[in-house]
């Protein structure tokens, strides 16, 4: 079973989550909202991996950061879509009041930013990752992920955006990489 981990302000109703559910079916992919508190999010995701017998991960943005930590811990094949590599830096600008895509309001705190550092991976197991980047990502600098995951399987495109415009075109390649 695949685990999909969404990004910072998105939810289980994100466009990618819906695309993945439509393609893989609810019996083959598990999508769950995670806590805004990083330590709680990781704890919840670890429980899902163990309880649902997760065999691979697909993740986006902040979810990609969590997925990298979990991939290393559980030795899982992982597909990353415009992942955050240093959210303990990039999410400092989000400190304060925030709103998820579903309208739920939350407060992002300095302590949450600091908490992210506990899940930092220094040297990812490159053969376990398939990285999708679009240079037009308006939220994250794609070059940071390109450098961090250097040598992994890669799709990089000009233009696009943080959501990775047209990701559904690659589902067959993703499935082959995850060996489903």
Q: Structural domain of residue 63, as residue ranges?
A: 2-178
Tokens in use for 5?
Answer: 């981990």
What pLDDT score was predicted for residue 21?
Answer: 95
pLDDT for position 121: 98
Digit-coded pLDDT (tens) for 129-172: 999 999 999 999 999 999 999 999 999 999 998 889 899 999 99
Number of domains in the chain: 1
**Contact by Cβ (8 Å): 98, 44:** no
- Closest to 165 (Cα-Cα) out of 142, 143, 133: 133
CATH number at residue 145: 3.40.50.1820
Q: 62-104, pLDDT tens digit by residue?
A: 999 999 999 999 999 999 999 999 999 999 999 999 999 889 9
pTM of the model: 0.95
Contact 90, 97 (CB under 8 A): no
Indicate if the pLDDT at residue 180 is higher than 80: no
Maximum pairwise Cα distance, the chain: 41
Average pLDDT over residues 53-70: 97
């Amino acid at each position: 079973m695949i685990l999909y981990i969404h990004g910072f302000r998105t939810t289980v109703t994100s466009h990618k989550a819906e695309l993945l559910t439509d393609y893989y079916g609810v019996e083959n992919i598990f999508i769950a909202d995670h806590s805004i508190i990083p330590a709680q999010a990781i704890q919840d995701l670890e429980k899902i991996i163990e309880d649902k017998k997760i065999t691979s991960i697909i993740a986006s943005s902040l979810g990609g950061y969590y997925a990298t930590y979990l991939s290393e811990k559980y030795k899982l094949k992982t597909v990353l879509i415009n992942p955050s590599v240093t959210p303990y830096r990039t999410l400092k600008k989000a400190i304060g009041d925030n709103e998820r895509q579903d309208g739920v309001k939350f407060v992002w705190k300095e302590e949450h930013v600091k908490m992210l550092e506990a899940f930092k991976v220094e040297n990812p197991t490159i053969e376990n990752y398939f990285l999708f980047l679009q240079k037009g990502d308006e939220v994250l600098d794609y070059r940071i992920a390109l450098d961090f995951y250097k040598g992994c399987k890669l799709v990089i495109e000009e233009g696009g955006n943080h959501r990775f415009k047209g990701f559904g075109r690659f589902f067959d390649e993703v499935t082959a990489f995850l060996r489903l």
